[in-house]
Amino acid sequence: MSRNKKVLTGTHFEMGNWACAEGAIAAGCNFVAGYPITPASEVANRLAARLPRVNGTFLQTEDEIGAICSAIGASWVGCKAMTVTSGPGISLMQENIGFAVATETPLVIIDVQRFGPSTGVPSVGLAADMVQVARGSHGDYQIIALSPESPQEMFDLTIRAFSLAEAYRVPVFLMADGFIGHMREQIVIPEEDRTKIKQRKIAEQSVSVLDRRDFLDVKVAPMPVFGLGLKAHVTSSCHDEHGMRNLSDPAVMHTYVMNPIKKIVNHRDDIVQVEDDCIDAEVALVSYGTVSRSARAAAGLARKNGLKVGTFRMLTCWPFPDKEIRQLAENVEYMLVLENNTGQMYPYIKAEAAHACRVSFLGPQTLGQIHDPEYILSHLNRR
Amino acid sequence: MVQTDLTIAGVGGQGSILAGVILGSAAVTNDGKYATQTQAYSSELRGGFAVTWVIIADEPVVFPRVTQPDILVAQAQDSITRFGDSVNPDGILIYDEDMVIEPPGYIKRIYKIPATSLARHEIQAPITANIVMLGALCKITGVVSRDALEKAIAMSVPRGKESLNRDAFNLGFEGVKAC
C-alpha cells in the first residue's frame, strides 16, 4: 500500500484512530497540530507519518494550548486545520475554543474521550466530555459536535466534521472515545472522487475592510484569509461585521454573541443527523456514540421477547436535536436514555421529552464498560 | 447469524494482542467476514496482564464487547484466573502448557500445546509462541480459514520473518492435543 497515496481506497482492518487520521486526509486536511495523549495518540502518530507525504504539515507542539493556537493560525492562512486530544487536552484548550468561536475560525477538534476527571484512566473510554465541549469555554456560543459509534464512523464523521467546519466557520468536535479509538473493525474507504467535501467561502479583494463584511453573517461571511493581499481585522473581542473592535454599542454586543449562535441554530436542519427506527415502537432507547451498539443489540433482544422497542441515535449531539427528540417523545410511551456516563445529555433530552412521555436514564452497570444488552432488557422488563 | 466470541490472554510481551489483531485481519481482509477486536492491558510493558477480545461473524457485529467467550486462548496462568470463569459452559479452552500449570476443571473442551518450548527448541524463536497458539486455534476451531490466517500472519510480521512464522504456525497446527 503506497504511503504517498492521498485516499487509501479499499477495505481495511484498523483502529478507529487510524480511520480518523485517514478521514482527515481524505477530507483534504493539510495541517494538524497536537500533543500526544492516550487514547488519542494513534491519530497524531498516523498523521505525523502521513501528512508530510501528501503535502501537509504535522506539528507536535509543547502542549495542547500551543496545538489549538497553531491550528487556529493555520486555518487563518487557508489550511484545513485540525487538532486531536483527549479530555485533559480539551480542558487546556477551552480558552482558545472560545477564541475560535469568536473569530469564526473553521477548525476540527478530535476528542478521543477517556475515563474520569483529571488524569483519570487514559486507556478506558467514557462519554465524559459531552457538555464540556459545548459549554466549557466562557461566554455564550454554539459549536457542532458529532458522535461516532464505530471505527468506520470515525472515518465518515471526520470528513463530515471538515465539511461543517468549512461551511459554517466554526469549531467542530468529533466525540470519539478510547473504546472505538482503539477498536479495530472493517473500514471501507471509498474512491477519492466519491467523497463530497464542502469548501469555505473566501473573501474577495477590496480596498478597505469597511467595504467587506467578514464576520457575523448568519448566512456565514466569506473568510478574509491571510496571504491573499487582503487587509482584515481579526479580534476575539466584541466586533462588528467588519471585524472592527467595538466595546461601547449594546446593539453591536448583541449581534456579536447572537449572530454566530444563529449561524448554527438557523442551519440546524442541515447539521443535525439522527437515526430513528422507532416506527411502531412503544419504547425508545435513546443514545449516541459507542453505547448505540448496546442499544441496538438490546432492541433486537427485546423484539424477540415481543416488546415494541426501537432505537434513536444522535449522530449530532450539538446543536442539540431538540425538534427530533420532541417528535419522538410524542410517538412513544417511554424513552430510556442510555449513556456511558452518569447522564450528561439526559437533562437536555428530558427537557424536550418529558411533556409527552415518561423518560428515565440508565448508565452502564460498570462505568466505562458499555451496557450489556441483557442489562438494558432486564431494566425494560422491570419498568 | 454465525458469530464466534474469543478471548486471547497472556502477559505483556507474549503477543496476545497481536495474535488477536492478526486473527481479525484474517477474517476481514482474507475471509470476507466481519470482525471486531478490542484490548486491555496494564501499564507495565512486560509482565502485566494483556488481553484481546475478538468477535468474528458473517454479518456486521452489533454489540462489540465479549462478555462470555466461546473460545479462550490462554498464554499464562493469570489468563485462567482472570478470564476462565467467563467462558461459555460449552466453550473451548486452548492453553500453553508451558505457562498454565492448573487448567480449570469447569470447561468441557480443553486443548493444550507446549507453545513456548516448541517455539524455543524447534525454531529457536520463543517470541513466536503467539503464532504457535494461532496455529492451534486454527486447527481446533476453524474460526478463520488456514489460508486466510497464514496470509494475515505473513502481512503482519517483519519482512524476512515470514517463513519462521509459518513454521511457528505449523508447529501449533500439528502439535495441539485434546486433554
Task: Transcribe A303-318 into DSSP letters.
Answer: HHTT--EEEEEESEEE
Q: What is the pTM of this model?
A: 0.96
The nearest alpha carbon in chain B to A14 belongs to B25
Query: Is A159 inside any structural domain?
Result: yes
Q: Which residues of B16-27 are buried (b: 16+ CB within 10 A; e: fewer)?
A: bbbbbbbbbbbb
pLDDT in tens, B39-79: 998 877 677 999 999 999 999 999 999 999 999 999 999 99
Listed by number, the residues of chain A in 154-173 with a beta carbon closer than 8 Å to a beta carbon of chain B are none
Task: Transcribe A65-103 into DSSP letters.
Answer: HHHHHHHHHHHHTT--EEEEE-HHHHHHHHHHHHHHHHT
Residues B127-142: what's their mean pLDDT? 97
Residues A174 and A318 in one domain: no
Counting the structural domains of chain A, the total is 2
A135: helix, strand or coil: helix
| Distance set, CA A270 to CA A107, A263, A267 (Å) | 18, 11, 6
From the candidates A14, A123, A184, A304, which should be mutated to test the interface with B, based on the most B CB atoms within 10 A?
A184
Query: Kind and range of the H or E element at A107?
Result: strand A107-113
Residues A160 and A302 in one domain: no
Give CA–CA dist A290/A297, Å, rounded. Answer: 12
Q: Cell for A214? A: 467578514
Q: How far does B152 lie from chain A, in Å, by closest CA? A: 11
Task: Transcribe A204-260 into DSSP letters.
Answer: PP-S-GGG---S--TT-PPB--TTSS------SSSB-TT--B-SS-HHHHHHHHHHH
Contact A184 B36 (CB under 8 A): yes
Q: Which of B29, B36, B38 faces A11 most closely, judged by CB atoms?
A: B29
Q: Which residues of A touch B63 (CB under 8 A)?
A: 293-294, 296-297, 373
The nearest alpha carbon in chain A to B20 belongs to A184
Q: How far does A75 lie from chain B, in Å, by closest CA? A: 35
Q: Which of B36, B41, B63 faces A185 most closely, judged by CB atoms?
A: B36
CA A289 from chain centre, in angstroms, equals 11
In chain A, the largest separation of any two C-alpha atoms, in whole Å, equals 71
Q: Cell for B11? A: 502477559
A313 touching B (Cβ < 8 Å): no
Query: Is A82 inside any structural domain?
Result: yes
| Distance set, CA A367 to CA A149, A360, A363, B27 (Å) | 17, 17, 7, 31
Residues A31 and A131 in one domain: yes
Q: Which residues of B touch A294 (CB under 8 A)?
A: 63
Among residues A194, A224, A240, the one where a domain terminates is A194
Residue of A109, A115, A87, A91 lying closest to A341 (CA atoms): A115
Contacting residues for A193 by C-beta, under 8 A, at least 6 apart: none
Mean pLDDT rounded to a whole number for chain B: 96
Query: Is A40 inside any structural domain?
Result: yes
Class of the B3-178 domain? alpha beta
A293 touching B (Cβ < 8 Å): yes
Parallel, antiparallel or unpaired: strands A10-15 and A184-189: antiparallel
Residues constituting chain B: 179
A372 touching B (Cβ < 8 Å): yes
Question: How high is the pLDDT of residue A4?
Answer: 80
Residues A28 and A119 in one domain: yes
Contact B38 A186 (CB under 8 A): no
Query: Is A145 inside any structural domain?
Result: yes
Q: Which of B29, B39, B63 faces A294 most closely, judged by CB atoms?
A: B63
Residues A178 and A58 in one domain: yes
The nearest alpha carbon in chain B to A296 belongs to B62
Contact B35 A182 (CB under 8 A): no
Residue of A303, A325, A324, A326 lying closest to A376 (CA atoms): A303
Contact B137, B143 (CB under 8 A): yes
Q: Which of A186, A300, A369 faces B28 most closely, judged by CB atoms?
A: A186
Among residues A172, A194, A216, the one where a domain terminates is A194
Contact A373 B63 (CB under 8 A): yes
Question: How high is the pLDDT of residue A207?
Answer: 82
Half-sphere exposure of A121 (CA within 13 A, CB side): 17
Q: Residue A145's beta-bridge partner residues? A: A173, A318
| Distance set, CA A173 to CA A77, A82, B25 (Å) | 21, 10, 30
Measure the CA angle with vertex A210, ends A209 and A212; round to 5°. 70
Residues A176 and A302 in one domain: no
Q: Which of A184, A369, A370 faces B24 most closely, judged by CB atoms?
A: A184
Q: Which residues of B touch A123 (CB under 8 A)?
A: 40-41
Write the CATH number for A154: 3.40.50.970
Task: Transcribe A18-39 into DSSP letters.
Answer: HHHHHHHHHTT--EEEE---TT
Give CA–CA dist A163/A369, Å, rounded. Answer: 32
pLDDT in tens, A33-89: 999 999 999 999 999 999 999 999 999 999 999 999 999 999 999 999 999 999 999
Residues A279 and A184 in one domain: no
Residues A17 and A136 in one domain: yes
Q: Which residues of B84-122 are buried (b: 16+ CB within 10 A; e: fewer)?
A: beebeeebbbbbbbbbbeebbeebeebbbbbbbbbbbeb
Q: Residue A171's beta-bridge partner residues? A: A107
Residues A22 and A129 in one domain: yes
Write the CATH number for A377: 3.40.50.920
Contact B63, A294 (CB under 8 A): yes
Amino acid letter, residue B121: H
Among residues A170, A194, A218, the one where a domain terminates is A194
CA A125, A370, B24, B85: dihedral to nearest 10 degrees?
110
Q: Which residues of A touch B37 (CB under 8 A)?
A: 13, 183-185
Residues of chain A with pLDDT under 70: 1-3
Task: Transcribe chain B into DSSP letters.
Answer: --EEEEEEEEETTS-HHHHHHHHHHIIIIIS--EEEEEEEE-S-SSSSEEEEEEEEESS--SS---SS-SEEEESSHHHHHHHGGGS-TT-EEEEETTT-SS--SS-SEEEEE-HHHHHHHHHS-GGGHHHHHHHHHHHHH-SS-HHHHHHHHHHHSPTT-HHHHHHHHHHHHHH-EE-
From the candidates A13, A15, A124, A374, which should be mutated to test the interface with B, based on the most B CB atoms within 10 A?
A13
Domain extents in chain B: 3-178
Amino acid letter, residue A302: A
Q: What are phi and psi of A273, to 5 degrees?
A: -125, 130
Contact A183 B34 (CB under 8 A): no
Listed by number, the residues of chain A in 244-283 with a beta carbon closer than 8 Å to a beta carbon of chain B are none
**Full domain range(s) for residue A29:** 10-194
Give CA–CA dist A232/A219, Å, rounded. Answer: 19
**Chain B: residues touching A (Cβ < 8 Å):** 21, 24-25, 27-29, 34-41, 60-65, 67
Q: Which of B35, B38, B41 faces A13 most closely, judged by CB atoms?
A: B35
The nearest alpha carbon in chain A to B34 belongs to A186
Q: Which residues of A touch B25 (CB under 8 A)?
A: 13, 184
Contact B34 A186 (CB under 8 A): yes
Residues A176 and A51 in one domain: yes
Q: How far does B105 lie from chain A, in Å, by closest CA? A: 27
Q: How far does B142 lie from chain A, in Å, by closest CA? A: 20
Query: Is A30 inside any structural domain?
Result: yes
